[in-house]
Structure 1
Amino acid sequence: MAMRWTVKLTPWQRIIIKSLIHLVASGWLMLTFWLGVQDQLGADPVAGLLHFTGFGAINLLLITLLISPLNRYFGGELMRFRRLVGIYTFVYALGHFLTFAIFILGLDLNQLGTTIVERPYITIGFAALLILLALTITSPNALRRKLGRRWQTLHNLIYPALLLMLWHYTWSEKTAWGTPVYYWAGALGVVLIKTHIKWKGWLSFRRK
């Protein structure tokens, strides 16, 4: 039998944890952009910003997906923080896109549109960003209640978003070996864990 911990947080503890998530996620992002603007991110600050925000978005998305299975062992408390981590996934992905649009294309909207259409790996990344935007906009509980069953259908797009983000990263690296293969393996592991728990819960329900 799997170990389960019953964790009950007080309202103040939840506020403190959410504040720490804000502090770490936003503070780290702002500090990195500040260092990039000050030319203190190595020989190529723009590449440093692109890597930091890109890896950050993928890592945060994987953490968001892991919260649900881990929540089973923490008395349901972790789910209180999933939306916040998911929102920061979009924030980092947006930072990645803005870094490219501002520092590489000089915020030339015509060139940006042409680049998104004509460069497939940019198209894929932009599609992932749009999915994350839709998930972020519809994340509040009020919209969840209003959308009903359609909300879950919409938020299942988090899996195509992950696929597109990894595809974008792999294509940009021009190889599936090295770091990309570890991310693909990690993503597969997360999806398998969630699938296993979902089927286990469904089978338990069928036996009742």
Structure 2
Amino acid sequence: MGGPPLVGWLVVVIGAVTGVSCLLRTRAAAGAALGAAERRVSRAEGVKGLGMALMALPAPALAQHPWGGWLFGAFFGAMALWTLSLSRRGDHAPAHHVHLGVGAASMVYMSVVMATAPAAHGAMPGMAGTTGTAGLPVVNGLLLAYFGLYALWAGLRMLPAGAAATAGGATGGLLAAPELAAACRVSLGIGMFAMLLTM
């Protein structure tokens, strides 16, 4: 997952802002305006965004240890199982839970690549400094296509909603707005695409 440090910092910003925004949606007045199922989805997206930011952070403490990638893998593996278990409840868009599971599984894949790839001088330190062609090219290509198309699809779905959007008058109106949820999904898709592109 080698690449210029600027890409790593951009993924850090995207992941952190998205993660915090999604987690804020579950709090206070914004959380009260959402259903329990949507709050669970927002929490999962928030944790994923913050995890992306941590993985992409140039020279994080975890990446300096051989067990750092495995720790990320275990964390995102548990998250993948949790999000897939949510899809069985049938309480909120099972397809979206499956998408979150695919995202978490992709993070597990990147974590394993991060843990097993040989270090290379000058590679993106936050992604464990690999040789620049890490992972399996076919898997990388399929995941790139998936997240690229998902980001485009989610972005196109925002267009009609954005045209009809009005300013929220209530406290937390912006955080509870469906447009913010859609923007979080686009941002996570772009962040995943950027992380995979640097492999």
Indicate whether the TM-score tops 0.5.
no
Tell me which protein shows more helix as a share of its residues: 1
Q: TM-score, normalised by structure 2?
A: 0.40
Provide TM-score, normalisation by structure 1.
0.38
